[in-house]
A and B are shown apart, each in its own frame.
Chain A
Amino acid sequence: MGVLPVVNTYPLSSYTFGTKEPKMEKDTSVADRLARMKVNYMKEGMRTSVEAILLVQEHNHPHILLLQIGNTFCKLPGGRLKPGENEIEGLKRKLSSKLAANSPSHQPNWQVGECVAVWWRPNFETVMYPYCPPHITKPKECKKLFLVHLSEREYFAVPKNLKLLAVPLFELYDNVQRYGPVISTIPQQLSRFQFNMVNA
């Protein structure tokens, strides 16, 4: 009792970052995105998306890797699952698509850990909640956040149009305006873990 699960985190410097071809967003605007979501919903039903929380440590504090689009908008690496796809497999696929180098010899071995948060989208809107509102029986999307354990050395290739940032947890905490409700509450989801800060 009272034993917290342990997560090993390594310093940012133990990872190597390269670049690869740009990975553009499929939608150019919010409206487009929601429209596409609606179309997909009609075809496939509720969308399930998976996102990964990748942690490194700096100064003995966990930092989360976020992809930054443009200058301000940050998102977690991950994406939509294909219909019927397994969550873990789908997440690995998305991680490789976003962050792994193209060459087959460098595929990271993603260790997908537990699911730490689930968010629901009740309507075709941008807002999500950590529960499905009681009057909604058909949510439009379910987003699951998984903790992914990185090994000590990894090579990441970041698409040219994105930046990969290591953001400290304290920066996310209570910072909804900048990161949105999903990302800004990650520190709370992770608070139950014990981080083993491995130094270089």
Chain B
Amino acid sequence: MEPGGQGFAGGVGDRDGFHRNEAISAVQDEEQFYGEDDYDDLYNDVNVGEGLLHSVQRGDEPRGYPREEGNRINPAPPPPPPAPVPPSGNAPEKVQIPGIAGEPKIERPVDGSGGFHEQGFRGGGELAAAARPPAPPPAGSRPELGQSSGRPGGFQGQTGNSGYGNEGYRRQGSGFGGEARQGGGGGAAVGGGSVNGGGEGAGGTTLFVGELHWWTTDADLEAELSKYGQVKEVKFFDEKASGKSKGYCQVDFYDPVAAAACKERMNGHMFNGRPCVVAFASPGTVRRMGDAQVKNQQMTAQSSGLAQKGRGGGGAPSGGNYGRGGGGNWGRGGMGNRGPMGNMRNRMGPVGGRGIMGNGGMVAPPPPVLHPGAMLGQGFDPTGYGAAMGRMGGAYGGFPAGPTAAPFPGLMPSFPPVVAPHVNPAFFGRGGMAAAGVGMWPDPSMGGWGGEEQSSYGDDAASDQQYGEGSHGKDRGPDRDWSGASDRRHERDKDMGPGQEWSERRHRDEREMGRERDRDWDRDRERERERERERDRDRERERERERERERDRYRDDRDRHGDHYRHRDRELEHDDDWDRGRSSRQRSKSREVEHSKRRHLSSE
């Protein structure tokens, strides 16, 4: 092979020799693969069987692997010869994957590295994916590892294909005595692409069973599995958010012979009218194979519409998040949001209020878990707020016993209360400190607010009040456009995100009442408030810092005890949980987004 040649294909001028590592990345990969030595690079991190690497890397001949891209296990016609066969002239041996259990032919290194274990190969991992190396004639064909590695995912689902079945493997050309060995070893692990041979050589007992319906039960599976031997465990993979099965599972037998038999004979078995896929795997690869399966399913099911929806959802994720998650948290978070976030109307408003209450109620104010993204989303519209605030402030002052009911004096320690962004903190009187300005948000735990009230949940600070306080918006000056406020309010209402609507409306109504009355009166006070706001902002900052500290403490406590309700959005201690949660976390977010969107629409 001419690594040199390849290497330099795009090489930079300063090479004076073949410096593999200097190759341009695009080319570089190929180089690696085509290089005579150094399959190590490929397999370094793979837990392969004993002789693999050695057998694989025989300097002489790079092998090509036909890649069965997209070859799916399910009754698929033999995959087309791998496109990227390097032009080295050796005929990539195609891997034929006849039907499901195709037996790809693999090429073995000429020198008969015998020790070539399939698994090992698979260890290559990527390769496992679909491609089975074509037997490279000793001529030094290039293995198409490069390509396959490029696409590990491609194969995954197809384990069936794996037809690699050990039996299937046969190296062409190059005599290798390995064949016998292969046969022997084969039984063990080839499971479709399971990449990792780990332990397979000795007889793998772990299988990946996929392409199941979500309603195919563990009992169905066990009934069928027990025909092949004693089953140690069947572990289904499900979506964390809903508990629904992902359609694949990991099966552990006690006896590797049973596992092999099962893999051979149960592959393609109909469960509820759908042929399953069975392949050898190791615990780590099961997940990967499953992910590939899921991805393939999604791709086929997906339409552009779906994609769009996803995108649209993306737009309102923060809203969505707000809607859900722990209102408490974000109520605070919203507050915490520094600065107006562009035009996101605050969806959180009502929630914020609630959150605050919660905080107050909580004996131990929980750390605001809102993550920055969410908070940012909040951004309330300063101008809107400002105006509203102005008015509200007045209103508030006007009647302390107003809708919000709680007399201010009682509240204070945390002023401005963190309230929904759309609520103007100024509303809460105290001379407008509410504004707290941008970034002043008192700690979502709402500092004072919550802190003071630890003992009494039933605190009178009416939620309205809380709402109002949070919003502070940026402290807009007196030049705010008051008249526009009410219009904006209506807009805001429309924008309301999920979950906010009901409370938002309630508050809005109440606020309106107050506002009407005090509109004029407020304007005067607005200016006064501005000044006070400055002062308060500083106070808030202090409080915020304290709260941060407290929050960290609480977070630790919660982590220790919080397993019971560890919500999927939180970090999970269990590895499994974490892994499972990982893929479904995305899902839960998108669910939230959709949920919020749905609610949003319905409200309109």
A: which residues have CB within 8 A of B? 12, 25, 29-31, 33-34, 58-59, 61, 63, 68-73, 75, 122-123, 125-127, 129, 131, 133-138, 163, 165-168, 170-171, 173-183
Contacts and interface: CB of A to CB of B under 8 A. Distances in A.
B557 interface: yes
B236 A135 contact: yes
Q: Choose among A59, A131, A134, A175 the residue with the greatest number of B CB atoms under 10 Å from its CB.
A: A175
Given A59-B458, A177-B366, 9 more contacts: A69-B561, A73-B565, A126-B577, A127-B566, A138-B219, A168-B458, A170-B463, A174-B327, A180-B565
Nearest to A75: B564
Interface of B: 212, 214-219, 235-236, 238, 240, 242-245, 323-329, 351, 354-355, 357-358, 361-364, 366, 369, 456-458, 460, 463, 499, 553-555, 557-558, 560-570, 572-574, 576-577
A135 B215 contact: yes
Contact of A58 (B218, B240, B243, B457): B457
B392 to A, nearest CB: 22
Nearest to B361: A171
Q: Choose among A68, A168, A178 the residue with the greatest number of B CB atoms under 10 Å from its CB.
A: A178
11 contacts: A29-B563, A29-B573, A72-B561, A72-B562, A136-B236, A171-B328, A174-B324, A174-B354, A176-B326, A176-B567, A177-B366
SS of A interface (majority) = mixed
Contacts of B561: 25, 69-70, 72-73
A134 B563 contact: no
B366 A72 contact: yes
Contacts of B327: 173-175
B363 A135 contact: no
Contacts of B366: 72, 177-178
A18 B426 CA distance: 43
A178 B358 contact: yes
A29 B297 CA distance: 37
Given A72-B557, A134-B214, A175 B573 contact: no
Nearest to B457: A168
Nearest to A63: B457
Given A72-B554, A135-B215, A138-B218, A165 B240 contact: no
Contacts of A136: 217-218, 236, 243
A171 B218 CA distance: 39
Contacts, number: 172
B329 to A, nearest CB: 5
A153 to B, nearest CB: 19
Q: Choose among B328, B558, B564 the residue with the greatest number of A CB atoms under 10 Å from its CB.
A: B564
Contacts of B364: 68, 71-72
A52 to B, nearest CB: 16
A73 B558 contact: yes
B243 A68 contact: no
B214 A72 contact: no
A59 B327 CA distance: 21
B360 to A, nearest CB: 9
A25 B560 CA distance: 12
Contacts of B555: 72
B406 to A, nearest CB: 11
Nearest to A122: B243
A125 B576 contact: yes
A189 to B, nearest CB: 16
A133 B558 contact: no
B321 to A, nearest CB: 10
A71 to B, nearest CB: 4
Contacts of A122: 238, 243
B444 to A, nearest CB: 12
Contacts of A135: 212, 214-218, 236, 238, 244-245
B458 A63 contact: yes
A71 B363 contact: yes
A33 B566 CA distance: 13
A4 to B, nearest CB: 20
Contacts of B216: 135
Contact of B219 (A29, A129, A137, A176): A137
Contacts of B563: 29-30, 33, 126
Counting from the closest, the 4 A-B pairs by CB-CB distance are A180-B565, A177-B326, A58-B458, A73-B561
A71 B365 CA distance: 8
Contacts of B570: 177
A176 B321 CA distance: 12
A13 to B, nearest CB: 11
